[in-house]
Every structure is written in structure tokens, then in C-alpha cells.
Amino acid sequence: MIQIENTLVSFDVFEKKFCCDLQVCKGICCVEGDAGAPLETGEPEKIEANYEGIRPFMKPSGVAAVREQGFAVIDVEGDLGTPLIHGGECAYAIEEGGICWCAIEKAWTQGKSSFRKPVSCHLYPIRISKYGDFEALNYNKWHICRCAREKGSREQVPLYRFLREALIARYGEAWYSQLEEVAHEIETGKLEIPPEYR
């Protein structure tokens, strides 16, 4: 892993190719899985604070799920996550044009929410693990994202570039500039990626 400030970045972030292909996957990540989107400490409160702006964009079943379960739940591993609709899709999932996306983000795009979306969603397929004062950024490979890997390979989009906006939102422009410097060193052969990441 590469250390940048107080983060540890997996070589996968530089090496893996990834680019969401919503026309193929239809936003299935909002539906699949046995738990809701992971939430960081403080994110349920941000959802609650913006809920009056978010709720008009939600499905009635999603509103009911939030009313019954709250803005967040504790999953089987003891972690915070978004509530689910009858154990299926995320309570904040909506559908437009046959594609699922997020009522929280739609409210944000309409200026109705100051909170864009959970970090776990914005940064996916990067997952963050905390180790003391450090955050480790690792690539999470999920079978439903096969089309994103294929599109990323076709268009030669490395993961760090696909997630540029989300990474800057999380860590800032200066941090991302350092990330790009590392990527350049890898691309020019000045820094070698271990074989297991290729």
C-alpha cells in the first residue's frame, strides 16, 4: 500500500480499471446485498437533518421503511447501514427510466439536501477501513459490477480516475494531486506494482 497523508491506498486503486455502466447494470447495487449501504458515524444525523428535502423523492415503501426502522439500522456485524425495504433494496433507492439511484443524491442535485450521499456509495468500489488515525482504501470486487470492470478495461479508466470527484470530496485537491503523482510514477515505471496486484 501507498501512504498519502493519513491514508493507506491499495495498489488496486491505481491498477484496476472501472467505469460504471448504468445502461447495463441498471443501478443494481442499490438493490442487491443482504444489508443496506454502510454508514459512517454522523451520516444518519445528516440524513435526518435533510430528510424533509429527501422524502418527496422516495418511494412510499421507502418512506415506510424509514418510519418503521429509523434513518439507519445496525446490521448483523454491528455496523451502521441504511434500512431496507422488506429486506431487499435500500429504503432510499428510487427508479427513473428503468435505472435505480438514490433519493438522497437526487435531493442534493435539486438543492434540497446539503448531504449528497453516504461515503460508502460515493466511493464504491473503494471501501474504507479505519486503523487508528489512518484510513485504508481498498478495492471491493463485487460480481454485479462485472460490466463496470469491462467498460473500464475497454476505455482504460483506472479506478482512481473514475472516482476523482468522490476522492476529492473526501480528501481534498491536494491529496488527490499526490495520488496522481503516485499514479504517474507507476505508469512511468519509477514505482513498481507488486505482481499480485496486476
Q: Where are the domains of the chain?
A: 1-18+128-198, 26-124
Q: Is the pLDDT of residue 197 over 70?
A: no
Q: Is the pLDDT of residue 75 over 70?
A: yes
State the cell numbers at 139.
478495492
Provide the whole-model pTM. 0.83
Average pLDDT, the chain: 90
Give, in order, the Cα–Cα distances in Å from 172 to each of 51, 130, 164, 169.
Answer: 27, 18, 10, 6
CA distance 70 to 43: 13
116, 96, 119: which is closest to 22 by C-alpha?
A: 96
Helix (H) or strand (E) holding 183: helix 173-187
Mean pLDDT, rounded, for 3-11? 92
Mean pLDDT, rounded, for 25-47? 85
Share of the chain above pLDDT 90, in %: 63
The whole-number pLDDT of residue 31 equals 79
C-beta of residue 13 within 8 angstroms of C-beta of residue 139 = yes
Q: Is the pLDDT of residue 144 over 90?
A: no
The whole-number pLDDT of residue 196 equals 64
DSSP 97-147: TTEEEEHHHHHHHTTS-S----HHHHTTTEEEEEETTEEEEEE---GGGHH
The whole-number pLDDT of residue 198 equals 58
Q: Is the pLDDT of residue 26 over 90?
A: no
Q: Quickly state the pLDDT bin for 187 (edges 50, 70, 90).
A: confident
The whole-number pLDDT of residue 23 equals 85
Mean pLDDT, rounded, for 155-164? 94
State the cell numbers at 11.
495498489
Q: Is the pLDDT of residue 174 over 70?
A: yes
Between residues 87 and 51, the one the model is more confident about: 51
Mean pLDDT, rounded, for 112-118? 95
